Structure 1
Amino acid sequence: MPTTPAFPPPKMGEPYLLTPGPLTTAYEVKQAMLKDWGSWDDDFRAMTRDLRARLLALLGPGGAGYDCVPLQGSGSYCVEAMLGSFVPKDGKVLVLSNGAYGLRAAATLDQIGRGRVLLDKGDYLPPRGDEVARILADDPAITHVLAIHCETSSGILNPVEEISEATYAAGRKLLIDSMSAFGAIPLEPDRIRYEAMVSSANKCIEGVPGFGFVIAKTAEIEAAKGNSHSLALDVHGQWATMEKTGQWRFTPPTHVVAAFIEALKMHQAEGGVAARGARYERNRDVMVAGMRALGFETLLDNRWLSPIIVTFFCPADPAFVFARFYDLMKQKGFIIYPGKLTVVDSFRVGCIGRMDEHVMARVVEAARASLAEMGVASAAPPAAALEERKKLAA
């Protein structure tokens, strides 16, 4: 056994962030932010080139026709940038929703004046390829399909491969919100066809918040000139400036970029997408097995559980109060996530960040101790919640 853990706890008494991002980062990533950079300086421009090249390398050999455009802001900024830049003003998007982020994308399209139709699967189920095919066959006005790779409001890992096949069989284009999956779950264009995808610095690459990025076919970026509804969220405008000058159009989050490059180096050293995803899967499996042993039930069947975040029903026991459970878990060094479901009370436990299965075993022990302190005799959910899951999954 090693004398030092492979994933030492956060320094300065920080709790682990069991969330879908921001998440617990390595000390080396934090340390990278201690230097100031000039956004116009050659050294920082070299960092931007390095960042873009490293992200494209994660696509594998099928990424030759793609380019990477980093953008200031949170993930939702990048989703809006992708939709506003690549969907024509007279276009129409089929939004595949099974949670908050699909619904947010639909609201974004309404806000920016793009047509859309919504397939809302609720909280429990993924959109399937045959459903996409039927909708596209019935509505020739649809030009694009938007899929959420991992819907973190429920934890569903959506079947983007079959969605892609249905989309292109119908002659339409696929856009993917891979905010919480890219870097841990493969999204290689030679396996899954798409025009563009977006993700964020503070997710599976394990950087800190401050920017996201669009990875798109270069031809799509070139064709997007003049299409955007926004100055700041124009993917083509940002790309054209970077190609010409090497600079971001507007003030970049320099410290966040430096941290992200360190995170990318650590990602590569760990073994890339496959190794990162395998660690997250081990985290999930240890945590889910332990929580089920305590009596908790997952929202989803095993088939749809992502290695990113897992949703649990709140116990039916009247002694269980989520706010108290949250505080007790935080006192023990773990910040969990409230639920975001529309039908039943729930909470979420993230599996991503700078931690391994040994940390997740401690999460389970913290949950056991917290239930005991609250006087919760059983962590079983309300019968109605299980019945609702069974009915919707039928």
Structure 2
Amino acid sequence: MLPHWKANQFLAPALGEPYLLTPGPLTTDYAVKQAMLRDWGSWDGDFRAMTAEMRERLLRVAGDDKHEFDCVPIQGSGSFAVEAMLGTFLPKDSKILVLMNGAYGQRIVQTLNYLGRAHSKIDKGDYLPPRADEVAQALDADPAITHVIVVHCETSSGILNPVAEISEIVYAKGRKLLVDSMSAFGAVDLSVNKIRYEAMVSSANKCIEGVPGFGFVIARKSVLEAAKGNCHSLSLDIYEQWATMNKTGQWRYTPPTHVVAAFLVALRMHEAEGGAEGRLARYTNNRDVMVEGMRQLGFETLLRDRWLSPIIVTFFNPAHPKFEFSRFYDLMKAKGFIIYPGKLTVVDSFRVGCIGRMDANIMRQVVAAAADSLTEMGVDTAAPPAAALDERAKLAA
């Protein structure tokens, strides 16, 4: 039996652990941790039943009431699953348009280079999303493009990309869409009944609030059937994983059994919270409370409000000469909060995640810890350099 939990509890992490204010791995519920205390046989009927329940629940999160899609878990981190999706669903003679505005779009381009798949890109930098008119122009200019891929939430900047808008134009132009929803699925709506795509990929340790160890692909069954023989890799072949699971109920190679057990508990908690809608409401409130408090201290967000995601928020480093990020990080950690370094090339920044087993009360504690940390550093204002604001104004115009 998997452990039970009490809904709506937001307690301090076990054993004095700090809260992880990151886009995953993230702070998990004690019941999720507790599920990993038992060993499972990977070929045993009980574990096969767990795998089947997990796949079914994920399809429900995706809104697949017409049974046109299937869910295929794949061992490894999120990047493993993204590579598996690209390698399996892109024929060798295809060409993909990559919509980029951060490090994870860049990683997709790097992966395509390894795979030897033809591609082009729209690179929007760190401040803005790709828009439908730009995608339309790129598709009209290059009839060889067969697919488009977009990162749903680009966590290097915290930007939430307009997937629905992009999907409409992609299919209007007769192309196909793939979605990297690594850090958004389970909170931001990606229902197959509302947004058209061929396949999307996410990970256990993101908005479902499980632990790291596998990703999963939700794809049209017709796309899965057509993918036989496409993949460059034995272990990352989604078609073969799908065919084996449907035939035997088993993973082809050793599964992360403890991670699956934890994820099932997380999925049940996700449902109890109201599914993606309930989780989005909590994460959005987390973001709003935290951003308001940080702005009162003088911090500025990298992005304009309209593009802020409920997943993670990027802040400019303060201009004050006594501010040093490594010291700020250590002070925040000592107070029980692990924040995330920046991942931008143009300006110095850091990130604060809004996801995980946390609520608005905890986000207020985050702001208080940031205020105390600035005081200990002798920083009386967190205002960013004027040059950073000028750069934002110029690039986000």
Letter aligned with residue 15 of structure 2: M
Identity in percent: 72
Secondary structure of the structure 2 residue equivalent to 1:166: helix
CA distance in 2, matches of 1:353, 1:59: 20
CA distance in 2, matches of 1:218, 1:235: 12
Letter aligned with residue 291 of structure 2: V
**Would you say how many aligned residue pairs link Structure 1 and Structure 2?**
391
Specify the alignment match of 2:168 in structure 1: 165
Structure 2 residue 25 is matched with structure 1 residue 19:
no
Following superposition, the deviation at residue 6 of structure 1 comes to 2.8
Secondary structure of the structure 1 residue equivalent to 2:14: coil
Structure 2 residue 192 is matched with structure 1 residue 189:
yes
CA distance in 1, matches of 2:377, 2:282: 32
Specify the alignment match of 1:135 in structure 2: 138
CA distance in 1, matches of 2:387, 2:67: 50
CA distance in 2, matches of 1:264, 1:363: 27
Following superposition, the deviation at residue 63 of structure 1 comes to 5.4
Specify the alignment match of 2:106 in structure 1: 103
Could you list the per-position Cα deviations for residues 354-380 of structure 1 after superposition, in whole angstroms to 9, with x for gaps in the alignment? 010000000000000000000012100
Secondary structure of the structure 2 residue equivalent to 1:12: helix
RMSD, matched Cα: 1.0
Could you list the per-position Cα deviations for residues 196-218 of structure 1 after superposition, in whole angstroms to 9, with x for gaps in the alignment? 00000000000000000000000
CA distance in 1, matches of 2:372, 2:95: 51
Following superposition, the deviation at residue 267 of structure 1 comes to 0.4
Following superposition, the deviation at residue 249 of structure 1 comes to 0.2
Structure 2 residue 259 is matched with structure 1 residue 249:
no
Specify the alignment match of 1:225 in structure 2: 228
CA distance in 2, matches of 1:246, 1:6: 34
Structure 2 residue 364 is matched with structure 1 residue 361:
yes
Q: Which runs of 4+ in 1 moved over 6 A?
A: none
Following superposition, the deviation at residue 5 of structure 1 comes to 8.0
Following superposition, the deviation at residue 189 of structure 1 comes to 1.3
Letter aligned with residue 128 of structure 1: R
Task: In structure 1, list runs of 5 or more residues that go unmatched.
Answer: none
Q: Which moved more, 1:61-70 or 1:342-351?
A: 61-70
Specify the alignment match of 2:159 in structure 1: 156
CA distance in 2, matches of 1:54, 1:6: 22
Contact 1:149 1:158 in 2 (8 A): yes
Contact 1:339 1:346 in 2 (8 A): yes
Structure 2 residue 279 is matched with structure 1 residue 267:
no
Secondary structure of the structure 1 residue equivalent to 2:195: coil
Could you list the per-position Cα deviations for residues 48-87 of structure 1 after superposition, in whole angstroms to 9, with x for gaps in the alignment? 0000000000122555200000000000000000000001
Structure 2 residue 305 is matched with structure 1 residue 337:
no
The 5 Å alignment of 1:1-394 reads 6-61=9-64, 64-394=67-397
Task: In structure 2, list runs of 5 or more residues that go unmatched.
Answer: 1-6
Could you list the per-position Cα deviations for residues 9-37 of structure 1 after superposition, in whole angstroms to 9, with x for gaps in the alignment? 10110000000000000000000001101
Secondary structure of the structure 2 residue equivalent to 1:71: strand
TM-score (norm 1): 0.98
Contact 1:94 1:144 in 2 (8 A): yes
